[in-house]
Structure 1
Amino acid sequence: MRNWNNLPSQMKNEPMKAYYDYLKKKQISLLFKFAFDRCLAAILLILLAPLFLYIAYKISKDSPGGIFFRQLRITQYGREFKIYKFRTMIANAESLGSQVTVDNDKRITAIGEKLRKTRLDELPQLINVLKGEMSFVGTRPEVPKYIAAYTAEMMATLLLPAGITSEASIEYKDEDKLLSNAKDPDKEYIEKVLPEKMKWNLESIRKYSFSRDLLTMIKTVLAVIK
C-alpha cells in the first residue's frame, strides 16, 4: 500500500484513517492477494478461451456492434481504467438511458439477458485482473459520476483494487429490480442503493483477510448456480 502522505488528497481524511491503518497491517496478505489474482486470471483466461470465442460468436450474431463493452471506471487510489464486459445491450446504449440498468431494460439484447443472468458478461474482467486494474474480490468499480457522490468514509473503498465480486454484489445481485420502478434511476441509485451497498463494502474492509476473499468467491459461485 502507498504511504499515507502519497495518497490522493481527497482520500486523506479522518473517517477513512482507521481503514488505512488496519490494511497497513495486512501487507503480506495483500501481496499474496495480488499474486493470486494475477496467476488465477492467467490460468482462467487460457482455460476459458473456447467459451470466450463461443460467446463472442453469439453476440455478433445477435445484434450489430462490438463484442466487448468498455466503460471508464475508477479503481484503487482513484485511478481511471476501462472495464471489459461482454456487450449485453444494443450499440450506443448509454446514450439512450441511465448508466445503471433496470429490470426489463429495453436496451438489453436477447443473448445479453442470458449473459447477465449467469454473470458470464463479467468474464472479460479477467483481463482487468491480469492487468492489475481489478481483483477477484473487492468493491465493484463505479463510474466517475457515482464516485463524486462518495462520502469521506466511502473513499476508503479506493484503498484496494476494485473487484469482480463482493459481499455487496451478492446481496444486491438483483439491483436492476430495485431500480425498475424509479422515476430517476441514477438519483435512486446514488441516494438509496449506493449507501446500502457501501455498508457491506466498508464492513468487508474492516474485516479483510485473504480467507474471507476465498469465501466470498465460493459464495458468488453458489449464488450464480442458484
Structure 2
Amino acid sequence: MKLQHNLGGLEGLDPINVEKQVFVEPWEKRIFGIHTAMMALSNHLDTSLPNYEIAKVPTQFKSFWTWGHLRKGAEAMHPFEYFRLRYYEKWLGGISGFFVEEGYFTQEELDTRTAEFLEDSTKAAAPLPKGGKAGIDTQVDKYLREGDSPMRPAPAPPKFKVGDRVKVKNVHPGAHSRLPGQLRDREAVVVLVYEGAFTYFFPTEDGIGTPMPVYSLLFQPQDIWTESLTEPNSVYYNDIFEVYLEAA
C-alpha cells in the first residue's frame, strides 16, 4: 500500500503545515478555477444528477474529469514527491499530466512553456484574457450552484444494518483507493446506513465505481492504534463503501 493511503497514526511526519489561507500564491486560484471548469465541462454530466445538456455547451474540453481523477493523479505520485510538494502543486501536476495524456498538448509543449515562465515569472502572473463563450460561462456557473451528486438509485438492499459488527477487508488499493490503510482488517459497528447508493464516478482496482450503500462505522481507537496514540474515552468514525466490508 502506498504511504499516502496509510497515514492514520503514522508518526514522524513533521513539520505539519498549519497554513490557514485558502490560497497562498496567486497561481493557486487559477489552478482551482481550472479544476472547477474541468468538472463543470466533464463529458459525464449528461448522465449525472442533476442532468446537464453538456453536449450543447460550446467547449473544446471533451474529457471525463471529477474529484476522483484529481485524487488519483495526486496519489499516483511517488510518496516522497507527494509529501514534498504543496497542496496545489499536486493539483498542478495531476491536471497537467491529464491534459498531456488526453492529447490537449504534448509534454514538449508543456516543458517549453514551463521554461518560459521560470525565466520570466511575470508571464505566469499575467491577467487572463477577458471574455469567452457565454455558453461555457453559463454551464460553469450552473455547476457551481447545482453540483454533481454521486447518489444513485440503490441496485440492491444494504447488506448490513445499524448495530451489525463488520470487518474491513484487506484489499489491495491499486493506484487509488478510498479506504484508509489503517482500517484494513479492523472491526467496527455500523451506526448509520446512508439513504440511497453512492458511486465513485469511475471504477478503481479495489472495487468501487458502481453504486452501492455507504455506512458510517464506529471504531474503538485501541483496536486500530497503540495505546500511546489514543485518547481516553474517544471513538473513531469513518464512512466506508460496502465493497470494503464483510460480516465480522
Question: TM-score, with normalisation over the residues of structure 1?
Answer: 0.23
Higher helix proportion (structure 1 or 2): 1
Q: Which of structures 1 and 2 has the bigger CA Rg?
A: 2
Q: Structure 2 length as normaliser, TM-score?
A: 0.22
Ranked by relative contact order (alpha carbons within 8 Å, sequence separation 6 or more), the top structure is: 1
